[in-house]
Structures are given as C-alpha cells and as structure tokens.
Structure 1
C-alpha cells in the first residue's frame, strides 16, 4: 500500500522545553489540516527535564505520523533543525519552536496560500505572549511579494512554511557554527532565492511565547555572538545581492537589529574593555558595509550612533547616548526655505567634533513629525538638479582664456 506524501512536515527541535512543550504539541494536534496530511519530526537535543519522554508519549497517542529522535546536546538550535529537515518527507516544512504554539488553522491556511500562488515561503501572522514580536509586516495579506518590496526582512525567524523541494534544490540548511542568528541567515537566503513569498496577515498563525524560566535562547549568549551573527548575514547579502540600492535596503536590517543595540543604553553600562572590544568588532563591518545608501534609510539618532561607531568616536557616542537617556528632545533646525530639517543632537555643527551636518538631516518620513517642515518635491528636485550641474561644471577642463570646454 502506497502512503500518500504529507503536505507538511513540522520540525520541532526541543531542549529543556517543559512544561511549554505540552501546549506546543497540543497546538499541533489541534490543527484543522487533516492528520493524514501532516507529519512531525521531533528532535530532543539532550534534555534532562522530561522533554524526550513527553515527545515519545505524544508519538504513541497522536493521529499523525510522528518520529522522535533523541540525541546528545548539540549546543544550539541548528543541529536539531537540520536533523529534522533531513528526515522530512512533506511537500512543505514548518519549523516550530518547542516553547511556542500554532493557531488551529495555521498550517491549513499557509499550505493553501503556497499552493494557490506557487510561492516557496509563506509567513503567518505572529502574536506574542509575554514577548514583543515584529509587527510591521502584518498590515496586509500578500499573495505574492518579495524581500525588497515588503517589510519581511524584519522577521527572519525560522518559523515559516518552506517548500521542501526548494530547500533541497539550493542545498539549504542551518549554519551550525552560529550560536545565535542562524535562523536569520537561513530565512534571508530563502527570501532571496525564493520564487515568491506570501504573507498571511489576517489570521494569527503563530504564538511566540516568552519563557519565565530564563531559558529563552534569544536572551542568552554574549555580545560577541551578536557580531558573529551580523557578520554572517552581511556576508550573505554581499554574496547574493550586487552593490546598490537593493543591497542597501536589506543591509539596514543587520545594522538596525543586530549592530545598533550593542551601541544603545547597554553601552553606557559597559566597562572600558567591553566598549573597546565592541568598537573593534564593529570596525570591519562598518568599513565594508556602512555607506550613505544604508545611512539615509535610518532615523537621525540611529544614523548618528552608527556614524560615530564608524568613525571610532566612543567619546562622542557616550554624549549622544546620555542625551537620549535623559529623554531630551533635539532642537529642530529648519533650512532651505524649511524644506530641510536637521535634528540638533549633541555635536551638531561642532567643528571640533567634525561630524558632517548631513548626518543630522532628517529624511522625509521623520521630518513629517515636526511642524514647520515643508515637503516640496519641486524645490527638492531643482536643488538636486542644480547640485548635479555644478558638480559637472567643476569637473570640466578649462580652456586657455578661462572658459569651460563644452
């Protein structure tokens, strides 16, 4: 008798997951997708709290096919996910963390979305329980999109539906050398290689649970691991995306989400050795990937802090962080007939500091928050056109007699 291929393989990597695992497994049993269309590969990564026994009890009673693998601790989430992926037989794979849970219709809706549109990755709306998940990508259900024209770059966790044939065709797996950010690397690569991505925004598919026992993976690990994660993701973008605006828009993500927090309020609490080490770890990243195309996509205080990191000025950075910590509002400075707004954070206009005024220039999306600023597209265009003409005239050779060559 031929067994039909399941629609979805749910891969659950579990380490010390009790008691959260109980509700996680209950959410799998509660799926409206027929049990015959579903399989579970659960990998106990060397737990000693009863996680393995709970998984085996689930396998014995569940109506869907369940495989339990018990192994020595691998040290991170990549190993168990790769084991589960290697054993998956479903048309799609969904990576479910053992302390989280699914909405009852999650898999049915996501499979239908992928089948309807032929997309390789499907995102389902995420809500947090004692955690704050990303929100900017859930404004609208998208049948077909990509990483450039949507905000999906700000959700790079592994909890997505992936077409298994697509993953196998590209030889994709989780990087086991990374202790954090391995899912960001995997998911960003999937976004970039996918023949379309879908977003289910009108139904909560996934509940991200905040643990109260201090064992949340994302809350552990030293700051050096964050730089490892940023380095890996930036390197992936460098390999897969040519230089230019498309790379810049994606590079915002590792700078904003991974690098910048290391130079936020925590930097004020760091001792001098840690501050110096952070600057040293950031230096090659800033030299290789920080540019005006990335900078102009950030808010002023974000851009300013990263610019000071790039210039290796922790002294000035501390001034800015103290200013922000005090919740002081920067003085708005309007120029060019009120069409340019500068935010006077510390060292604005200081010759001694040497930070160009452009670092303090608010982009339109931020400038709109301040009364008095005028968004004048015509004037902005003419000003930009005039600058280009002047630059070209300066570059033209001068003939004897003082006239520019035409």
Structure 2
C-alpha cells in the first residue's frame, strides 16, 4: 500500500529547476548525511523539490524522511510504499511525481557536494544540454575515474569516455525523459540504471561533463547492503543482455556501435571469467559459458575485440568459442599477474603478447587475438607505428641533403 505526504509549500512554488529523487530502503544512518547534503545546496531552496520514496524500510528511514520534510527549506514529498525489491520502482514513482525542469537521482546512502545542483543546472542551461555529469568521488569504495580528465561543455557518448559511468546519478532534462517515455526497467535487479542512462546518452541533444568540482560522493556501506554488491551472476548476464540489445537497437552496426559494446563486455561479462572463475563448481562454470554464448553470438565481433587489451580480448574470444579447456590457463596466467613475452615483427610495427596458447597449432587461436593495439603497444621498447625507411630510401635522403648543402654553399 502506498502512502503519500504532499510537499509542504508546493502550491506556492513555481516550477522548480530540479527535482531531487531519492529512493530509500534501510538507509539509516547514511540517510542523515544524504539529506544534510541536500539541505546544504547553494541553489536557492525555492528552485529545488525533493521527492523521497521509502521502499518499505523497517529501520526508521521513513520516519526520518518525514521529519526532514517537516523542517526542510525546500518542498519535500515523502511517499511510503511496500518493498518493491529493487531501486527501479522507487525511482519510477519519484519520476512520475516530479515537476522540475531537470531531475537528479540521489541514492540515500550517498551525498552531494554543496554546489552540485547549482553548477549542474547552470551547465545545462548555458549549453542547452540534456544530461550533465558531475565529478564523482568514492568514499570507502571505488568510483569511475576515466571520464573526469577535462570539463566538457558539450559532448556525446561517442566523443568521450562517459560510457564507463552509467549510474543514474546524473542531471537529466525531464522533458527528454517524458518525450521518450523513459523509465527504469523494473524487471532488472542490477544494471537497470545502465540501461536508462545509456538510452539518455543516445537520445540527448548534447551532454556536459563537470570535472573541476566534486558533485557527488559515492559512499561505500559497511553493512554489506549496497546494491552493487548483491545479486547472482545470472542477474549480471541479464543486465548485459539488456544493455547490448539497447545499443544494437539504437546504433547501426559499425565502429560507433562497437565503441559502445565494449562497455557491457568489459564491465559486466569479462569479470565473470576472472580469478574467481577457477574456484567455482563445474556446474557454475559451464552455466556461465551457456549464458554468455547468445551474447557472444549476437554482439561479439572483431571490431569490438580490437578495442580491448590482449588479455581481455583473449579471454572473451575463448568464451565466444566455448573453449573452457583453454580458458582456465589464460585466467590463471592473468590472475597471477604474470607478464607475457613480447614479440616484435614486421620491422617493429606488430607487437604480439604471448599469453598462453600463442601460436599453438592445437589451440588454433588466430594471431590477431594476441596483437597489441597502439595504446597497449606504445609502452614496449622498439615498437613503432610505421616501419623505418628502407636502405635505398635512406641513401636517397642522404644524397638529397648532401646536394642541398652543396648548392647552398655554392650560392654563398
């Protein structure tokens, strides 16, 4: 049963700039700092509304939300409902109530930087962008890093590294979400935010990235209840399948699609075949290969493979080939952090990394699987992008320089 408490002062406030949507389940005591960070925002409270959905908590979360609503300087709506089993339901409920020009999804165990909303709204307004990413910092947990090198006023998912941050903690233009009927997939219990955010990236008229200010603090819970730590491996394959299908539906086959496909392969599928794989039961190991097979058959290709490092590409190639007999050797080699021998060929322009089964006739793995790309190869002495000039060319160049110098001397 759903119970709602209407936002105090809502009827007296014009359309807010941003609706902060908080889905909360068993969020105490983290919720205290979360809400304090909302209250401390430098953006005028009249320009903010908060919609908090208590998803059947029993630890006082709902009561604390109502206490906050009674004293907060901005309009707050608290909705209390029976547990839905995942984060998608509360977010969708909150989104259905939102009236702000933008929405921001704030997890109840995380917190905002004081200037976060002011900076993000200003960035979106100044550049007309539909999605704004604010720099994320981890507290007792890892946070994405590769996309924060530079503030970008206007970019897209193909021209930046934002595909590696698909959590929902972004500023989204609400009109974009409503125009396309976008909601979180409630059938997914992990990776549901990746699906939502990737769709927003692909539909957005411009994306902004704020790298010079920490907008969001991603807090690691010590009670083991964080959503990203829960869920079986079957749920991971479900989320990978959903994201791959979305990318395939929205992006035509080719280099652009390949550049996005590496995200689910690298972040969701590949970790299932890491060091832990060696310790799992034979039944689980074979089940993982079975779950991976339709994904590999549908979406794995040489274009995607060549964008990965050799050890990543090799493992996924063996998964695609269902070669459990060879995969164990590679997983063990990589897990032990052993360095493969490097082999330079073609006058230094081709670098092969000799991971297990390299040029084994019995294994039959193509050489290109072991070929390092430019980013990986450039750290190896002797590798070069283009071959050195041949002996005749070197002789001709020397003669030209000699003749040129003689001509200059004669003229003088």
Report whether the alignment pairs 1:99 with 2:99.
no
2:386 corresponding residue in structure 1: 376
Secondary structure of the structure 1 residue equivalent to 2:218: strand
Distance (whole Å) between structure 1 residues aligned to residue 45 and residue 369 of structure 2: 56
Distance (whole Å) between structure 1 residues aligned to residue 117 and residue 230 of structure 2: 30
Q: Aligned to 1:287, which of 289, 293, 297?
A: 297
Distance (whole Å) between structure 2 residues aligned to residue 49 and residue 2 of structure 1: 33
Q: Aligned to 1:362, which of 356, 364, 372?
A: 372
Q: Aligned to 2:278, which of 233, 254, 268?
A: 268
1:26 corresponding residue in structure 2: 36
2:137 corresponding residue in structure 1: 127
Secondary structure of the structure 2 residue equivalent to 1:93: strand
2:52 corresponding residue in structure 1: 42
TM-superposition CA deviations, 1:224-255 (whole Å, max 9, x none): 00000000000001110000000000000000
Secondary structure of the structure 1 residue equivalent to 2:211: strand
- The aligned runs of 1:252-401 (5 Å cut-off) are 252-376=262-386
Q: Give the 3 Å change call, closer, same or farther, for CA 291–5 of structure 1 in structure 2.
A: same
Distance (whole Å) between structure 2 residues aligned to residue 110 and residue 193 of structure 1: 19
Cα drift, residue 323 of structure 1: 1.2
1:83 corresponding residue in structure 2: 93
Cα drift, residue 2 of structure 1: 5.9
Q: Aligned to 1:118, which of 100, 103, 128?
A: 128
Q: Which runs of 4+ in 1 moved over 2 A?
A: none
2:235 corresponding residue in structure 1: 225
1:14 corresponding residue in structure 2: 24
Q: Give the 3 Å change call, closer, same or farther, for CA 86–370 of structure 1 in structure 2.
A: same
Distance (whole Å) between structure 2 residues aligned to residue 120 and residue 87 of structure 1: 20
Report whether the alignment pairs 1:238 with 2:248.
yes
1:383 corresponding residue in structure 2: none
Distance (whole Å) between structure 2 residues aligned to residue 153 and residue 343 of structure 1: 27
TM-score between both structures, scaled by the size of structure 1:
0.92
Report whether the alignment pairs 1:248 with 2:258.
yes
Distance (whole Å) between structure 2 residues aligned to residue 198 and residue 82 of structure 1: 24
Distance (whole Å) between structure 2 residues aligned to residue 265 and residue 366 of structure 1: 22
TM-superposition CA deviations, 1:104-142 (whole Å, max 9, x none): 000000000000000000000000001111100000000
Secondary structure of the structure 2 residue equivalent to 1:370: coil
In the alignment, structure 1 segments of 5+ residues that lack a partner are 380-406
Distance (whole Å) between structure 1 residues aligned to residue 159 and residue 170 of structure 2: 19
Aligned residues, how many?
Answer: 379
Q: Give the 3 Å change call, closer, same or farther, for CA 106–268 of structure 1 in structure 2.
A: same
1:192 corresponding residue in structure 2: 202
Q: Aligned to 2:79, which of 50, 69, 90?
A: 69
Distance (whole Å) between structure 2 residues aligned to residue 105 and residue 255 of structure 1: 35
2:408 corresponding residue in structure 1: none
Cα drift, residue 315 of structure 1: 1.6
User: Conserved in 1, the CA contact under 8 Å of 2:13 and 2:46?
Assistant: no
Report whether the alignment pairs 1:143 with 2:192.
no
CA RMSD of aligned residues (A): 1.0
Distance (whole Å) between structure 1 residues aligned to residue 81 and residue 114 of structure 2: 30
In the alignment, structure 2 segments of 5+ residues that lack a partner are 1-10, 390-412
Distance (whole Å) between structure 2 residues aligned to residue 287 and residue 121 of structure 1: 33
Cα drift, residue 355 of structure 1: 0.4
Report whether the alignment pairs 1:166 with 2:176.
yes
